[in-house]
Amino acid sequence: MRRATRTVASALGIFAGFGGPEHGVFEIMRGNVRPEGLLIASMGPPCNPEEVWHACEPAMTIIPSFLITGILAVTVGLATMVWAGFFVQRKRGGLVLILLSVLLLLVGGGLFPPVIGVVAGVVGTRVNDPVTRRPTRLSRFLARLWPWSLVTFFVWTLGQFVVGHFFNEFLLNSGLFSPLMIVGLMILSIASAFARDVRSAAE
């Protein structure tokens, strides 16, 4: 088993699954109200998407009720977290994680977390692949970044809520800064995990 690859797939999958409860609780609080369309804001009034950096936690849903959407988002999110944490290394474990993430997207589990879940599922499909590459100068450098690249991903992704609390205007006006940071750190985490497994196989 590629241990670092499994770790990064599990960690990203768990993070993706957490988007379910995170959005679902706010959707449940909105009650048995019909959304105006597929794209929704998980947080209802007085939250104004144009005034807060997190845009009131945007999501989408195919369910015509905020209450049921929220319940399903919490349920699917928890299932995603459990699967990512304990079963992603199984045969077709990555594929199941991808399917759970797509379902999470459709039932109000946010927009960005399910995308991360799909990426985690794709990574999960590589967990049991044999390591055939030999270390290169680049892979040795990337291997040295493991696991700190993944730690940095979580520090920024979770820390932005603290930053946003005190510096809302900064994140609100920063455009794609935060999403690009998350995507960049996620890619770096995956690359360093792959490189770490290559180095381990060569030792």
Give 94-108 pLDDT, tens digit per residue.
999 999 999 999 999
What is the rounded radius of gyration, in angstroms, for the C-alpha atoms of the chain? Answer: 18
Mean pLDDT of the chain: 95
What's the pLDDT at 174? 85
Does pLDDT of 175 surpass 90?
no
Does pLDDT of 149 surpass 80?
yes
Calpha distance 40→49 (Å, rounded) = 10
Cis amide leading into 113 (omega within 30) = no
What's the pLDDT at 196? 96
What's the pLDDT at 87? 97
Residue 1 has, within 13 A of its CA and on its CB side, a CA count of 12
Burial of 138 (0-12, 13-18, 19+ CB in 10 A): exposed
Calpha distance 146→190 (Å, rounded) = 9
- pLDDT grade for 176, boundaries at 50, 70 and 90: confident
Bridge partners of 61?
A: 107
Instruction: Tell me how many degrees the CA angle 62-95-157 measures, rounded to the nearest 5.
Output: 70
What's the pLDDT at 43? 96
DSSP-derived 3-state class of residue 147: coil
What's the pLDDT at 165? 85
What are the φ and ψ backbone dihedral angles of 127, each rounded to 5 degrees? -55, -40
What's the pLDDT at 115? 97
Average pLDDT estimate for 169-176: 86
The residues, ordered by sequence, that sit 6+ positions from 136 with a Cβ below 8 Å of its Cβ are none
Calpha distance 39→106 (Å, rounded) = 10
Average pLDDT estimate for 117-133: 94
pTM equals: 0.94
- Please count the residues of the chain: 203
The residues, ordered by sequence, that sit 6+ positions from 203 with a Cβ below 8 Å of its Cβ are none
